[in-house]
Structure 1
């Protein structure tokens, strides 16, 4: 068996964001004679060689492939693409290892999909990727994207729920050849990545581009994030997006998504916005609800039009955030009290998206992918692949 470089063990643990005590617990090391951290320390110092079963367990806990542990040296940190986020202080950076793991996973999925498309000779470059620049007017870019999507704003608003409205845009996006995933954690609620860490991620490849929408965000915000990331695809700019809009590219993508979902002319309805704070909140809430958009989007547009100042914008945005968090907590309690729950495979298919599930189903049927690789593409165990691709 090849020797394992102890530096790899230290690097893999630290890259996973785990301290030695936490990792030892997760690996179930230690016993009556020796504490877990001491045992793990011996492996990391090279005084004790890890067995293959332990390496398999490390691969799972540290979210790495087994082959990684046989590298001669720790690899150079992989790129996330550009980082378009603006985070106050160190907020969110404590989640960097989890975010790195999520982005790395998306890159792997994209490469597997692209490889299969190349094998079946269907790797046609998408000409809209990288087809616009920041120098072009927002309204022009918005119209260009809408036309290519065949997006109908009235159809979007006719949907009964914000989830159905999002599904409408997602389906149009996936028809273009862009895979859209809903991901906000690494498989468990303990690894959740809040919107203070990231809202979306765009992998702007010419073949099989991917978009990730953070499903920890309010559902009413998903459509906006999807269109924001789609604007990144049109710009050909791979990277992470956050909640702020200090960077020029983030403003540009925000403005495109805003113009698509809430055309400038409609804001004239709020030109006489006034009254006390509660009345303003009530008017904005009703306005946003009718249009299947978030209240945060409405006040962002009002700020851009200078109908409210930055102080009012910050106050209203914080109020809407608190309101959403209270509603989310209430629904979580109701769900905990309810018997049973939604089918695992139905939920998973929704998170992965019909396009990726159907792509994988076809690749399996035609013999172009093994269950192991199919599981990696879909983010499930190989034994769960067949059930997932068969669910409707």
Structure 2
């Protein structure tokens, strides 16, 4: 599930500075939630991070700072898994131009579709920065990234409800609820609650968007 607001209330944004995602483990239907108010690159990192929690078989609310030296926590382990999946150290060592500039961070971030913060962490992991150099640059870059996130969320409009709501709920979940309601197994009242709507017209609009007959 991906959502950047509370329910469907566009006036109550989920702050990426507070949390980026969570994982709910279950043997039948484990769930990953990603904060959609974050940058796209950060959302991808969160997705892999939360999947790592699922692989461990545990639920978690995730917000592990990458400027912490704690290496034995589960959060830091999941960070390491996500970082290696998205930017393997072997690739970083061969691709890094040895120039610690914003332009170089942006180049690597765009190439690997990750955030500049993850790029910085991998440069440190590869041994190209000392801990003190890394933390100083990380905190400066973190401030820059969060300002960009705030600007993006401040300028964004409401978007197309019928396209964003299935992402907020998960397309599979929304389709399952609509199909169950059409078959008579779920009441329309329950369906409206599960889908976050109060109108039948909205229910039908979601069904049309998801192509549920």
TM-score range, shorter chain: 0.7 to 0.9
Q: Does 1:386 align with 2:204?
A: yes
Kindly provide the CA deviation profile for residues 351-381 of structure 1, in whole angstroms up to 9, marking residues without a partner as x: 2222122222221222221122223332333
Give, in whole Å, the separation in 1 of the partners of 2:94 and 2:39. Answer: 25
Q: Does 1:356 align with 2:177?
A: no
Q: List aligned pairs for 1:4-19, cutoff 5 A.
A: none
Q: List aligned pairs for 1:161-240, cutoff 5 A.
A: 180-240=1-61
SS in 2 for 1:307: coil
Distance 1:361 1:303, change over 3 A: same
1:305 paired residue number: 126
CA contact (8 A) 1:371 1:382 kept: no
Q: Which 5+ residue runs of structure 1 have no aligned equivalent?
A: 1-179
CA contact (8 A) 1:232 1:253 kept: yes
Q: Which 5+ residue runs of structure 2 have no aligned equivalent?
A: none
SS in 2 for 1:285: helix
Kindly provide the CA deviation profile for residues 245-271 of structure 1, in whole angstroms up to 9, marking residues without a partner as x: 546111211111112111221011355
Between 1:195-204 and 1:183-192, the stretch displaced more is 183-192
Q: Does 1:374 align with 2:195?
A: no
Distance 1:360 1:321, change over 3 A: same
For normalisation by structure 2, the TM-score amounts to 0.82
1:132 paired residue number: none
2:78 paired residue number: 253
Give, in whole Å, the separation in 2 of the partners of 1:344 and 1:356. Answer: 16
User: Which structure has the bigger radius of gyration?
Assistant: 1
Deviation at 1:184, TM superposition (A): 4.2
SS in 1 for 2:6: coil
Cα RMSD, aligned residues only: 2.5
Q: Does 1:288 align with 2:125?
A: no
SS in 1 for 2:101: helix
Aligned length: 205
Deviation at 1:294, TM superposition (A): 0.9
Distance 1:356 1:302, change over 3 A: same
Deviation at 1:244, TM superposition (A): 1.6
Distance 1:391 1:322, change over 3 A: same
CA contact (8 A) 1:181 1:351 kept: yes
Give, in whole Å, the separation in 1 of the partners of 2:197 and 2:49. Answer: 28
Deviation at 1:334, TM superposition (A): 5.2
Distance 1:346 1:272, change over 3 A: closer
Give, in whole Å, the separation in 1 of the partners of 2:129 and 2:95. Answer: 11
Give, in whole Å, the separation in 1 of the partners of 2:85 and 2:152. Answer: 30
Kindly provide the CA deviation profile for residues 121-152 of structure 1, in whole angstroms up to 9, marking residues without a partner as x: xxxxxxxxxxxxxxxxxxxxxxxxxxxxxxxx
Give, in whole Å, the separation in 1 of the partners of 2:96 and 2:137. Answer: 17
Give, in whole Å, the separation in 2 of the partners of 1:343 and 1:391. Answer: 11
